[in-house]
């Protein structure tokens, strides 16, 4: 099923703690405008917060692109977090619950993945990382656009 953006993506810098708060606010506002329910909105903002912090702390900063999606049947948000940091050396390990390189108690990549409908990681040591996730309004994961 084709999915096309309704509007061009907005790009927000991630270079400070203040930027983390701004990203959370902008994701919350975009999800509310698409009439995401409270639980779905909270899951999306939580995942976005985790990935924004990873972009800042582990990637040395970067940006997020927020894009409104339209499948023709439902609407959603796609968030792409990009940095030019050291990359993730062992992605399988990084996706494991409880794994941390920063000594924190964050939910990590695996936890963020469980909160959204779509999740991909493009990383290479020395090149940086892009994590892209999408959440759809009111669509259970088994019937989301593009699922088999």
Whose structure tokens read 């940091």? 85
122 by Cβ neighbours in 10 Å (0-12 / 13-18 / 19+) ranks as middle
pLDDT for 99 equals 59
What tokens appear for 89 in the block?
């050396």
Number of Cβ atoms within 10 Å of the Cβ of 113? 19
CATH number at residue 11: 3.30.565.10
pLDDT for 1 equals 41
Asked if 56 and 19 count as a contact pair (C-beta separation under 8 A), the reply is: yes
In a domain, 69, yes or no: yes
What range defines the domain where residue 64 resides?
A: 4-143
Count of domains observed in the chain: 1
In a domain, 148, yes or no: no
The phi, psi pair for 14, rounded to 5°, reads -125, 100
In a domain, 61, yes or no: yes
pLDDT for 102 equals 57
pLDDT in tens, the chain (148 residues): 445 545 568 999 999 999 999 999 999 999 999 999 999 999 999 999 999 999 999 999 999 999 999 888 889 999 999 999 999 888 888 887 665 655 554 578 998 999 999 999 999 888 999 999 999 997 654 554 555 4
Whose structure tokens read 């703690």? 17
């Amino acid at each position: 099923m084709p999915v096309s953006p309704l509007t061009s993506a907005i790009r927000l810098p991630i270079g400070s703690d203040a930027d983390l708060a701004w990203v959370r606010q902008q994701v919350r506002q975009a999800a509310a405008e698409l009439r995401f329910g409270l639980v779905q909105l909270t899951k999306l903002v939580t995942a976005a917060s985790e990935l924004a912090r990873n972009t800042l702390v582990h990637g040395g900063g970067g940006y997020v692109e927020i894009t409104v999606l339209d499948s023709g049947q439902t609407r959603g948000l796609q968030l792409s977090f990009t940095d030019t940091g050291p990359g993730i050396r062992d992605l399988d390990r990084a996706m494991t619950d409880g794994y941390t390189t920063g000594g924190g108690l964050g939910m990590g990549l695996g936890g963020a993945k469980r909160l959204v409908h779509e999740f991909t990681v493009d990383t290479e040591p020395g090149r940086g990382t892009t994590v892209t996730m999408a959440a759809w309004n009111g669509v259970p994961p088994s019937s989301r656009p593009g699922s088999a």
